[in-house]
Amino acid sequence: MIPTVATLSAVAIASAYQPADFSQETWWLSALKAVFIIVYLILSVLMALWVERRGLGRMQTRPGPNVHGPFGLLQAIADAVKLLTKEDIWTRKSDKFIYILAPTIAAFCAFMIYAVIPMGPNVNLFGYSSPLQMMDMPASTLYILAISALGIYGIVLAGWSTSSTFPLLGSVRSAAQVISYELSMSLAIVTVFLMSGSMSTSEIVAAQDKVWWAFALAPSFVIYIISMVGEVNRLPFDLPEAEGELVAGHMIEYSSMKFAWFFLAEYINMFNVSAVATTLFFGGWHVPFGIEYIWAGANSGWWPMLWFTMKVWFFMFLMIWTRGTLLRFRYDQFMKLGWKVLIPVSLAWLVIVALMQAIRSFWGLNTYALVGGITVLFLIVVVVLMLLPNVEEPAAEDPEEAEVFDAFAGGYPVPPLPGQKLPASPRAARRAQAAATSQPEAITASTPEGGNA
């Protein structure tokens, strides 16, 4: 029997949505994949720097880098050479061991995330069938969360080891930011566990054969996108490095290649969160828009790496776009968004998804229809709540009876809270008295001599 085109297409699609098979993996293949990941990330960072500068230049009506190399493509390499040749500066009171260890921790943890990211299916590597993934485990997503949390130690140690004020403030802000937004990110990822039935990254990608979780779990996807921007300290959430407040945050006292390691870790973390978003919500390395039903080989060979890279760059461009368009949040607004909005909403959505999964297991209903309907209803409720007018607190009925507020209590001036009244300024009283005493003299001087006033 000669297989038809439809049969071959169905077989190709079925084989594409399979977890990674490491049965023929060898130690030297794993080492080769590790080297490839390092080179892939470094080249991606160099390209991201050029794309970001040119993109921001276009948004701000300026050319951007255009001197070094064609279209300024070698600008990032020129910056790296400059940092390599700069003098290494130390602060006198710094702990030199921790001072050097901090950027090493940040960069090392950044490189480790991609080890469990599936970039493609099994391919033929030197006669061995091996997936385009360095390793996978039953708890790969927990590994991602653990390594991303460990990376914050590099920032905290950098601020503490320099014995300087601004770096310490920046590192404390960064720690608070990660604690606040990693909770909502983790709750959003847990819904993916419930729907996929696994914490393995390759199995999560294989579970998105019918629908991407970005559509079935739209609230989780939106929460993750917001949280990932806060996780990597990018605008509008770059408060640990706010130039107007902390100059450069934890990196103030760093120069030469130690500064470059922090800079490299920041951009690699951008690729990390983008790759995690692609893996958990955007179907991983699978071709988008149902092209596999037209082109049977779209999800085989080396083509899936191209689809994966395109999806990752979509999220990278999203972060570059937000940097060029949105303003920085105030710190209180940032914390309010994390603790009062994202965490309660993600927790409520997690309970809803768990209930839907329980209903499906008992009554055998269609999970996708249930979750899809609840997703639409949830989004409608959120939009309605956003459109409702804000209810402001009523002002004090009698301002004169408000408690007098001493702005200099404790020796440091602070602004009054709503409902508090500042005492009269002694300078204002003296000016009013001086104006009252000088007014009769001015009238007398303006009266003609010998005339009647």
pLDDT tens for the chain, 453 residues long, are 344 434 434 434 444 556 777 778 888 898 999 999 999 999 999 999 898 888 888 888 888 888 887 888 888 888 888 888 887 777 777 778 888 888 888 889 999 999 999 998 888 888 888 888 888 888 889 999 889 888 888 888 888 888 777 788 888 888 888 888 888 899 999 999 888 888 899 899 988 888 888 888 888 999 999 988 888 888 788 777 766 667 777 777 788 888 888 888 889 999 999 999 999 999 888 888 777 778 777 888 888 899 999 999 999 999 888 888 887 888 888 888 888 888 998 998 898 888 888 877 777 666 666 666 777 777 777 777 767 776 555 555 555 555 555 555 555 566 666 666 666 677 777 888 888 887 655 555 555 554 444
The answer to whether the peptide bond before residue 236 is cis (omega within 30 degrees of 0) is yes
**Which tokens in the block code for residue 188?**
């959003």
What is the rounded (10 degree) CA torsion for 177, 178, 184, 190? 180
Is residue 238 included in any domain, yes or no? yes
For the chain, the straight-line distance linking the first and the last C-alpha, in angstroms and rounded, comes to 124
The per-residue pLDDT for 6 is 42
Q: Are 244 and 341 in contact (CB under 8 A)?
A: no
**b (16+ CB within 10 A) / e for 360-369:** beeeeeebee
The per-residue pLDDT for 416 is 65
**Which tokens in the block code for residue 57?**
């230049």
Tell me, what DSSP letter sits at residue 122? E
User: Rounded to an integer, what distance in angstroms lies between the CA atom of residue 298 and that of residue 54?
Assistant: 32
Is residue 448 included in any domain, yes or no? no
DSSP H helices in 93-164:
96-112, 140-150, 152-161
The per-residue pLDDT for 439 is 64
CA separation (Å) from 398 to 82, 196, 201, 403? 64, 60, 62, 11
Is residue 355 included in any domain, yes or no? yes
Is residue 445 included in any domain, yes or no? no
Is residue 368 included in any domain, yes or no? yes
The per-residue pLDDT for 3 is 40
User: Rounded to an integer, what distance in angstroms lies between the CA atom of residue 150 and that of residue 215?
Assistant: 31
Is residue 452 included in any domain, yes or no? no
Q: Are 328 and 238 in contact (CB under 8 A)?
A: yes
The interaxial angle of helices 256-281 and 165-196, nearest 10 deg, is 20
Is residue 444 included in any domain, yes or no? no
**Which tokens in the block code for residue 10?**
């169905």
Q: Which domain range does residue 360 map to?
A: 18-386
> Other C-beta atoms within 10 Å of 450: how many?
5
Q: Provide the domain count of the chain.
A: 1
Is residue 412 included in any domain, yes or no? no
